[in-house]
Chain A
Amino acid sequence: MEDTLLLDAIERYRSGDMSAREIAYFEELRKNDPEIDQLVVNHMAFLHQLEQHGERAALKQQLNETEHRLAGEGVLFNEKTKGRPAIVYLWTRYRKIIGVAAAIAGLVSIATASFVSRYSSEKKVDEIQPLVDRKINAVTSRLQQLETQVNSSTETVNKTTKKKPVFEANFRATGFLIDGSGYLVTNAHVIDNARNIIVENKKGEQFTAEALYADKPSDLAILKITDTSFRKVNELPYVFSKNTSELGEHIYTLGYPREEIVYSEGYVSAQSGYFGDTAEYQVSMSVNPGNSGGPVINRAGEVIGIISSRETNADGVVFAIKSKNIYSVLRQLDDSMNIKLPTVNSLKGIDRMQEIPRLEDYVYMVKGN
Chain B
Amino acid sequence: MGYFSTLISINYNLVSIDSEKALLQGLASHENGAIETIYRENYATIQAFIVRNNGFPDDARDIFQEAMIILFEKAKSSSFVLSCQIKTYLYSVCRRLWLKKLQQNNKGFPAFELLEETVSVEEDLEGHEQRDNDFRLMEQALMQLGQPCQGILEACYVQKKSMPEIAEAFGYTNADNAKTQKYKCLMRLKKIFFAQYRKGD
The answer to whether A59 touches B69, judged by C-beta atoms less than 8 angstroms apart, is yes
Interface membership of B138, Cβ < 8 A:
yes
Q: Mark B168-201, 1 if CB is under 8 A from A, else 0.
A: 0000000000011001101101100100000000
Tell me which residues from 1 to 58 in chain B have a Cβ below 8 Å from any Cβ of chain A. 30, 32, 35-36, 39-40, 43-44, 47-48, 51-57
Interface membership of A143, Cβ < 8 A:
no
Which residues does chain A contribute within 8 Å of B187, judged by CB atoms?
3, 7
The answer to whether B183 touches A8, judged by C-beta atoms less than 8 angstroms apart, is yes
Q: Mark A43-72, 1 if CB is under 8 A from B, else 0.
A: 100110111111111111011011101100
The answer to whether B52 touches A85, judged by C-beta atoms less than 8 angstroms apart, is yes
The answer to whether B65 touches A63, judged by C-beta atoms less than 8 angstroms apart, is yes
Interface membership of B134, Cβ < 8 A:
yes
Interface membership of A158, Cβ < 8 A:
no
- Selected contact of B157 from candidates A43, A47, A67, A82, CB within 8 Å: A47
**Residue of B32, B153, B157 with most partner-chain A CB within 10 A:** B157
- Selected contact of A62 from candidates B32, B40, B53, CB within 8 Å: B32
Tell me which residues from 72 to 94 in chain A have a Cβ below 8 Å from any Cβ of chain B. 75-77, 81-82, 85, 88-89, 92-93
Given contacts A4-B180, A7-B187, contact A89 B68 (CB under 8 A): no
The answer to whether A75 touches B40, judged by C-beta atoms less than 8 angstroms apart, is yes
The answer to whether A92 touches B65, judged by C-beta atoms less than 8 angstroms apart, is no
The answer to whether B39 touches A66, judged by C-beta atoms less than 8 angstroms apart, is yes
Given contacts A56-B135, A66-B32, A75-B40, contact A89 B179 (CB under 8 A): no
The answer to whether A8 touches B48, judged by C-beta atoms less than 8 angstroms apart, is no
The answer to whether A46 touches B61, judged by C-beta atoms less than 8 angstroms apart, is no
The answer to whether A89 touches B135, judged by C-beta atoms less than 8 angstroms apart, is no
Q: Mark B107-141, 1 if CB is under 8 A from A, else 0.
A: 00001100000000000000000010011001100
Taken together as a complex, chains A and B put the C-alpha atoms of A43 and B193 apart, in Å, by: 12
Which residues does chain A contribute within 8 Å of B53, judged by CB atoms?
92
The answer to whether A60 touches B65, judged by C-beta atoms less than 8 angstroms apart, is yes
Q: Mark A1-41, 1 if CB is under 8 A from B, else 0.
A: 00110011000000000000000000000000000000000
- Selected contact of A76 from candidates B39, B51, B112, CB within 8 Å: B39
Which residue on chain A has the smallest CB distance to residue B45?
A81
The answer to whether A53 touches B30, judged by C-beta atoms less than 8 angstroms apart, is no
Interface membership of B81, Cβ < 8 A:
no
- Selected contact of B68 from candidates A7, A47, A63, CB within 8 Å: A63
Taken together as a complex, chains A and B put the C-alpha atoms of A67 and B61 apart, in Å, by: 9
Which residues does chain B contribute within 8 Å of A76, judged by CB atoms?
39, 43, 47, 61
The answer to whether A54 touches B32, judged by C-beta atoms less than 8 angstroms apart, is no
Which residues does chain A contribute within 8 Å of B157, judged by CB atoms?
47, 50-51, 54
Chain B contact residues, majority secondary structure: helix
The answer to whether B69 touches A53, judged by C-beta atoms less than 8 angstroms apart, is no
Given contacts A7-B186, A63-B65, contact A58 B139 (CB under 8 A): no
Report the count of interface residues on A (CB-CB < 8 A).
36
The answer to whether B183 touches A66, judged by C-beta atoms less than 8 angstroms apart, is no
Which residues does chain B contribute within 8 Å of A53, judged by CB atoms?
134-135, 138-139, 142, 158
Taken together as a complex, chains A and B put the C-alpha atoms of A75 and B37 apart, in Å, by: 11
Q: How far is the CB of A283 from chain B (nearest CB, A)?
A: 52
A-B pair number, CB within 8 angstroms: 107
Taken together as a complex, chains A and B put the C-alpha atoms of A57 and B72 apart, in Å, by: 12
The answer to whether B36 touches A70, judged by C-beta atoms less than 8 angstroms apart, is yes
The answer to whether A62 touches B30, judged by C-beta atoms less than 8 angstroms apart, is yes
- Selected contact of B72 from candidates A49, A54, A59, CB within 8 Å: A59
Which residues does chain A contribute within 8 Å of B65, judged by CB atoms?
60, 63, 67
Taken together as a complex, chains A and B put the C-alpha atoms of A46 and B196 apart, in Å, by: 14
The answer to whether B158 touches A81, judged by C-beta atoms less than 8 angstroms apart, is no
The answer to whether A67 touches B69, judged by C-beta atoms less than 8 angstroms apart, is no
Which residues does chain A contribute within 8 Å of B76, judged by CB atoms?
55
- Selected contact of A59 from candidates B68, B142, B153, CB within 8 Å: B68
The answer to whether A82 touches B30, judged by C-beta atoms less than 8 angstroms apart, is no
Q: How far is the CB of A90 from chain B (nearest CB, A)?
A: 10
The answer to whether A89 touches B43, judged by C-beta atoms less than 8 angstroms apart, is no
Given contacts A52-B135, A62-B30, A62-B32, contact A85 B48 (CB under 8 A): yes
Taken together as a complex, chains A and B put the C-alpha atoms of A67 and B111 apart, in Å, by: 28
Q: How far is the CB of A259 from chain B (nearest CB, A)?
A: 64
Taken together as a complex, chains A and B put the C-alpha atoms of A67 and B35 apart, in Å, by: 10
The answer to whether B35 touches A89, judged by C-beta atoms less than 8 angstroms apart, is no
Q: Mark B141-167, 1 if CB is under 8 A from A, else 0.
A: 010000000000110011100000000
Which residue on chain B has the smallest CB distance to residue A71?
B61
The answer to whether B180 touches A55, judged by C-beta atoms less than 8 angstroms apart, is no
Which residues does chain A contribute within 8 Å of B138, judged by CB atoms?
49-50, 53
Taken together as a complex, chains A and B put the C-alpha atoms of A92 and B111 apart, in Å, by: 10
Given contacts A43-B190, A51-B157, 20 further A-B contacts (CB under 8 A): A4-B180, A7-B183, A7-B187, A46-B190, A50-B157, A53-B142, A54-B154, A56-B69, A56-B135, A59-B69, A60-B69, A62-B30, A76-B47, A76-B61, A77-B57, A81-B44, A81-B48, A85-B48, A85-B51, A93-B54
Query: What would be 15 A-B contacts, judged by CB atoms less than 8 Å apart?
Result: A4-B183, A8-B183, A52-B131, A52-B135, A55-B158, A56-B72, A58-B158, A66-B35, A70-B36, A70-B40, A77-B47, A85-B48, A85-B51, A88-B51, A88-B112
Question: Which 7 interchain pairs have the tightest Cβ spacing?
Answer: A54-B158, A53-B138, A4-B183, A85-B51, A92-B54, A66-B35, A50-B157
